[in-house]
Structure 1
Amino acid sequence: MTPGGAGYEQARAVFDDLARLPALRVGVRLRPQGAELWQRAAPGAFRLEPHMTQAVDLEGGFGVVWRDRFHTRVRRDVKRADKAHVEVEVDRTGRLVPVFEQLYDQSIERWAGKQHEPLALARWRQRREFPMGRLATVAARFGESCAIWVAWRDGEPAASIVVLRHGPYAKYWRAAMNRDLAHRIWAVPLLTRLAIEEACEAGCGIFDLGESAPGSSLEHFKAGFGAVGRPSPRYWRERLPVSRAERGLRTAVKRVIRFQDA
């Protein structure tokens, strides 16, 4: 990441470095800026996979974001959380990693039940994508730029979010919760609100809330904070057609276990 954004030569160098890797499949996911530049720089061996990222424009500061971009329902939920005696803690040392991991395991159990998926398979899938220990490594390397927010009620953790920051960008990276408790005290809206306010105070211009499926409840949740969809393309190349085989196997397994997409 460069302070003024990447130029063509830098973008092409990224693709050249990726092309030299011996892995069967490599890829790069880009921020919602400079999409045309990266498209021009991408060699023919790299395929474009369109994605959309929802992000909040922080221009004007938190007062403007709260008043003009937060939906009425979000402002209402945050006010309810303020009255629910929620205790909020933010850690920039990695000390609260075990708390996040505990809540993440609870989230996996909830996702498995919702998707009609065997718990062992759900744990394997989720931990393959987000291995135990990854957050601790990120927290150690990012230092104060990795914030782990936790909402507590009567000494019990209700929800946690992880926000990464670099220059003018803040990234809502991960979230986990004890759903029953978190929903009763509006923990996630409160944590998200506080993280956005901190990003504004730090001089960030964008708060990236990540990708969500169009029309999903997750997209609706993010839109409540003023997040709008922006193109965030992914480029990838593979030496063997492993993606097609992987998709076929995944479809077959879903059919057998009557998997339901959340």
Structure 2
Amino acid sequence: MSAPAPTDGVQVRTPVPDHEWYETLAEAGPDVLPSQTPGWRSAVCAHGWRDATRLYLWPDGTRLLVPLVRSAAGSVAEYASWPEGWGVGGVLGAPDALTPDRARTVLRDLASLPADRVYLRPSPTSTAIWDALVPPGTRRNPRMAQILPLDGGFDHVWRHRFRGTLRSAVRRAERAGLTVEHDGSGRLLPEFDRLFELSLDRWDRQSDQPAGEVRRRVRAKNPLSKFTAVADHLGPHCRVWLARHGGQAAAAVVALYQGPYVVYWQGAMDKDRAAPTYAAPYLLHLVIEDACAHGARALHMGDTYPGTSVTRFKTAFGPDEYHTAGYWIPGAGVGRRAPVQDEREDMRTS
């Protein structure tokens, strides 16, 4: 179905058939994340949202696709690419397709949607374009993305990216008697979720918020049904890595795979078992080693904030840091919703 064209003869199609989405992914080349695929869209929609993806077509044949969903409940619609906690949506197209003029066209169209607000979370590499062009009234939601290049293979990453403290931790873990398995069928998700519950308790105790507040908020954004939906719709592209000690689960990582990229999506641990055995850094080091063995170009380590324990854990692996953002763009129904809360407390891992 077609939507009203923004300007300059640009056509807008919504919803977007999967075959056109895949054609756009092919044009984008290898720089596509798991969260920019139709499978991810389906997982988001299985979690209470409706598909509202938009495809922009210029007269010269250029096209840009914005993965987008619409809230399924409430009197005032909310659009997001993607909802917070669901990673990068942003804008997809051929490598040179996103120009300032085309970005303005996309922003005008998103701001015209019948919504109080539209959330756009673009790729970290395009932040400069959006920072310069977002309309007045936009709320910038700052993020720091950490991406570990895997150029040169695992030996290079081990020697030149990993910090000495991390290499020491891995060596100690190798002597700790850990056993590790990974699976892409969803079979290990219940064990991951039990570790996630323990992590929730720990994060809640560490917070200066009222007791139970962090647990409630983080769990609301990350229920087991969310993990299950991603595993169901991404299939073998979603893998759970699990480390055990003495037969008991100690730490787990959920990793996502798309082309030359691996995403460290979720992590959790039983600190009483994981800390003495260094299970958490050891497990992520194995994910990285496996990614290198399969020719991956980079490991995306997700969003974080400077100075947090999560950031320090990830920094030991030697990633590059990108200061990026998501954008709450005022929509046509602006003014009827309470201000967006700071999401800093919700960005946690193992």
The two structures have a TM-score, normalised by structure 1, of 0.83
Higher-RCO chain (CA-CA 8 Å, sequence separation at least 6): 1
Structure 1 counterpart of 2:339, from 244, 248, 256: 244
Matched, 1:133 2:228: no
Write the deviation string for residues 67-96 of structure 1: whole angstroms up to 9, x where unpaired.
111111111111111111101111111111
Q: Secondary structure at the match of 1:147?
A: strand
Residue 210 of structure 1 corresponds to 302
Which residue type is aligned with residue 233 of structure 1?
Answer: A
In the TM superposition, residue 123 of structure 1 has moved relative to its aligned partner by 3.1
Q: Which residue of 2 aligns with 1:66?
A: 158
Contact 1:8/1:38 (8 A) holds in 2: no
Provide the rounded CA distance (Å) in 2 between the counterparts of 1:45 and 1:101: 39
In the alignment, structure 1 residue 153 sits paired with structure 2 residue 245: yes
Q: Deviations over 1:117-155 (max 9, x none)?
A: 455433321122212310010011111111111111112
Query: Residue 86 in 1 paired to residue 112 in 2?
Result: no
Larger-gyration structure (1/2): 2
- Counterpart CA distance in 2 for 1:102 and 1:211 is 23
SS in 2 for 1:173: strand
Q: 1:187 aligns with which of 279, 288, 294?
A: 279
TM-aligned CA deviation for residue 245 of structure 1:
7.0
Determine the C-alpha separation between the residues in 1 that align with 2:242 and 2:29: 31
**Alignment equivalent of 1:8, drawn from 98, 114, 119:** 98
| 1:91-170 → structure 2 map (5 Å cutoff) | 91-170=183-262
Q: Percent identity of the aligned residues? A: 36
Distance 1:231 1:26, change over 3 A: same
Unaligned runs of 5+ residues in structure 1 are: 255-262
Offset of 1:208 from its aligned partner? 1.4
d(CA) in 1 for partners of 2:295, 2:130: 26
Out of 265, 273, 287, the position equivalent to 1:173 is: 265
Secondary structure of the structure 2 residue equivalent to 1:163: strand
Secondary structure of the residue aligned to 2:304 is: coil
> Which region of structure 1 is more displaced relative to structure 2, 213-222 or 15-24?
15-24
Q: How many angstroms apart in 1 are the aligned matches of 2:339 and 2:314?
A: 32
User: Contact between 1:18 and 1:27, CA under 8 Å: does it hold in 2?
Assistant: no
Shift of the 77–246 alpha-carbon distance from structure 1 to 2, 3 Å rule, reads closer
Instruction: Kindly provide the CA deviation profile for residues 6-44 of structure 1, in whole angstroms up to 9, marking residues without a partner as x.
Output: 322775676567446544333122232233344466455
Shift of 1:210: 1.9
Which structure carries more helix by proportion?
Answer: 1
What stretches of structure 2 of length at least 5 have no aligned partner?
1-24, 32-92, 346-350
Structure 2 counterpart SS, 1:236: strand
Higher mean C-alpha deviation, range 162-171 or range 112-121: 112-121
Q: How far apart are the structure 1 equivalents of 2:98 and 2:340?
A: 34
Cα separation, 1, equivalents of 2:149 and 2:210:
39
Q: Tell me the distance in 2 between the aligned counterparts of 1:98 and 1:49.
A: 32
CA distance 1:97–1:11, change in 2 (3 Å): farther
SS at match of 1:8: coil
| Partners of 1:26 and 1:236 within 8 A in 2 | yes
Task: Specify the SS of the correspondent of 1:229.
Answer: strand
